[in-house]
Amino acid sequence: MPIPAPNFDPPFNILRLSHVELVVKDLAISRSFYVDTLGLQVTDETDERIYLRAMEERGHHCLVLKKGAKPQVGELAFKVFDEAHLEQGAAWFKSQDLPVEWVDRPYQSKTFCTRDPHGVPLEFYARMDRLQPIHQQYALYKGVKPLRIDHFNCFSPNVDESVAFYNQLGFRVTEYTEDEATGNLWAAWTHRKGGVHDIAFTNGRGPRLHHLAFWVPTPLNIIDLLDLMATTGYVGNIERGPGRHGISNAFFLYILDPDGHRTEIYCSDYQTIDPDLEAIRWDLKDPQRQTLWGAPAPKSWFEHGSLFHGASVRDADLTASPIIAP
């Protein structure tokens, strides 16, 4: 059994992924991509940062664009149940000899930053400013009509290690790819909030962010986005899709922002609340796990990722032909 038993008694209660900061070179260019094209809503903007939320979200931000000289990724942020759990979380990371730093984040209550053992920068908080609902202000919907941030996906140099670590924090594996030859994990999807994933890991030089993902209402919204991007100068930013993943059953599209940060737009996962939910195992040799319909992903999709700030990258411990069996 390559995946650990689910841990229903984690040291503190992480509710869900919350947001991420992307460092971009030109805020105006990125605004055009995320706001005018994708349809995210601006909740605040300064000379240094743009704060964005999706249509059904009431928290202040799910994506922060930060101006910087070098495109990279800041902390992957998660919301915890309350301040007591936040303190327990900080204590736990310290107990693991992982760095804990309390920081001030606008629009968030007390927040600490830390890293996972591979160096992925993480951020935890309990409360964020709440905004008025806009999910029924239909005049605001545009672009792909993004409803909510859904998950992060990271290149991990050792997926077994990543899964073991996050499993301690209560992230439960829903689907995974196993390298039959070695019994090692090639990729794994883990969740807290009752869907297929809050964070997923795939084997590769890392740690790097493979993509963040937004949930949209139907496949037709994704087709609308493709038409829009293809005729407004973004045809080169369409990387892969549309298609159906075998894993997760998602109808997906992958796009690259002007700095090369990858976003997945998707719909169609399923509920994973049951504690007796069986994780679905996929074989590394089965190409339909990646694209149910058979079309291969482009090479860039296996190779390109965004660097995390301050994280050292190393090659994956596992190797396999990225062409034959990525």
- Contact residues for a copy of itself, defined by CB under 8 A: 8, 15-16, 56, 58-59, 79, 81-82, 127, 130, 133, 135-139, 141, 147-148, 193-194, 217-220, 223-224, 226-232, 235-236, 238, 242, 244, 246, 249, 251, 268, 270-271, 273-278, 280, 288, 292-295
Q: Which is nearer to a copy of itself, 267 or 318 (CB)?
A: 267
Strands (E), the chain: 14-24, 41-45, 49-53, 63-67, 72-80, 101-103, 111-115, 121-125, 148-156, 172-179, 184-191, 199-203, 208-215, 238-244, 251-256, 262-267, 280-283, 306-307
Question: From the CB of 209, what's the least distance to a copy of itself, in Å?
Answer: 22
Q: Which is nearer to a copy of itself, 38 or 318 (CB)?
A: 38
Question: From the CB of 233, what's the least distance to a copy of itself, in Å?
Answer: 10
Q: How many residues does the chain have?
A: 326
Q: Shortest CA distance to 151 belongs to which of 129, 134, 175, 185?
A: 175
Question: From the CB of 182, what's the least distance to a copy of itself, in Å?
Answer: 26
**Residue in the block written with tokens 């101006």:** 67
Check if the beta carbon of residue 14 is closer than 8 Å to that of residue 170: yes
Tell me the sheet residues that pair with 215. Answer: 148, 266
Q: Which is nearer to a copy of itself, 275 or 323 (CB)?
A: 275
Q: How far apart are alpha carbons 40 and 31 in whole angstroms?
A: 9
Report DSSP state, residue 279: P
Q: Which is nearer to a copy of itself, 255 or 318 (CB)?
A: 255
Question: From the CB of 284, what's the least distance to a copy of itself, in Å?
Answer: 18
Q: Which is nearer to a copy of itself, 46 or 109 (CB)?
A: 109
Question: From the CB of 117, what's the least distance to a copy of itself, in Å?
Answer: 27
Count of Cβ atoms closer than 10 Å to residue 46 Cβ: 10
Question: From the CB of 53, what's the least distance to a copy of itself, in Å?
Answer: 13
Question: From the CB of 137, what's the least distance to a copy of itself, in Å?
Answer: 6
Q: Shortest CA distance to 131 belongs to which of 200, 72, 57, 204?
A: 57
Question: From the CB of 242, what's the least distance to a copy of itself, in Å?
Answer: 6
Q: Which is nearer to a copy of itself, 56 or 161 (CB)?
A: 56
Q: Which is nearer to a copy of itself, 59 or 206 (CB)?
A: 59
Q: Which is nearer to a copy of itself, 206 or 242 (CB)?
A: 242
User: How far is residue 300 from each of residues 2, 107, 159, 239, 257, measured CA to CA in Å?
Assistant: 28, 36, 20, 8, 14
Question: From the CB of 294, what's the least distance to a copy of itself, in Å?
Answer: 5
The set of residues, in sequence order, having a beta carbon less than 8 Å from that of 324 and lying 6+ positions away, is: none
The full DSSP string for 67-116 is: E-SS-EEEEEEEEESSHHHHHHHHHHHHHTT---EEE--TTBSSEEEEE-
Q: Which is nearer to a copy of itself, 32 or 96 (CB)?
A: 32
